[in-house]
């Protein structure tokens, strides 16, 4: 029997690693990966608590919704990254500093 606290601790570690990746990397794709790591930490918590909701399946269903939302976010974000690359020839967010191209 694995206790809930273990899942929460693993989720917390993953969230902090994802936050670090999103804060320090100088590449839009890697920042996106960091955000995905944080989302996955959240989904892990939803799933772990969802074990205690057999009738309504709240946790598991909202984990599914979160996965779908992550997919939609990624598709739009990658389209934006491609556009930024086409205009600036770089995907370093620090160098993209014009509001009007």
Partner 1 sequence: MSAAQILFGLMSFIALASAVYVAASNNLVRSVFMFFVTLFALAGLYVLALADFVAVTQIVIYVGGILVLILFVFMLSGRETLEAMQHQPKRLWKLANLPAFLICALLLIVLFNLFMNTNADALPWIKQAVHNNDVIKAENTMTENIGINLMTRYLLPFEVISILLLMALAGAAHLSRKEAGA
15 vs 22: CA distance, rounded Å: 10
Q: Residue 55 or 99: which CB sits closer to partner 1?
A: 55
What does the radius of gyration of the chain's CA atoms come to, in whole angstroms? 17
CA 91 to chain centre: 19
Q: At what angle do helices 28-50 and 58-88 cross, to 10 degrees?
A: 180
Between residues 76 and 99, which has the closer beta carbon with respect to partner 1? 76
Give yes or no for residue 99 binding partner 1 (CB under 8 A): no
Minimum Å gap between C-beta 95 and partner 1 is 10
Residues 41-70: x where in contact with partner 1 by CB under 8 A, - otherwise, as a string: --xx--xxxxxxxxxxx-xxx-xxx-xxxx
7 binds partner 1 (CB under 8 A): yes
């Amino acid at each position: 029997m694995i206790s809930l606290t273990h899942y929460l601790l693993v989720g917390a570690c993953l969230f902090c690693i994802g936050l670090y990746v999103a804060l320090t990397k100088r590449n839009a794709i890697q920042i996106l990966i960091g955000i995905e790591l944080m989302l996955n930490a959240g989904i892990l918590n939803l799933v772990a608590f969802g074990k205690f909701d057999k009738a309504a399946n709240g946790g598991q269903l909202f984990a599914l919704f979160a996965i779908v939302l992550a997919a939609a976010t990624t598709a739009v974000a990658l389209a934006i990254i491609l556009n930024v690359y086409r205009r600036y020839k770089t995907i370093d967010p620090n160098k993209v500093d014009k509001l009007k191209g």
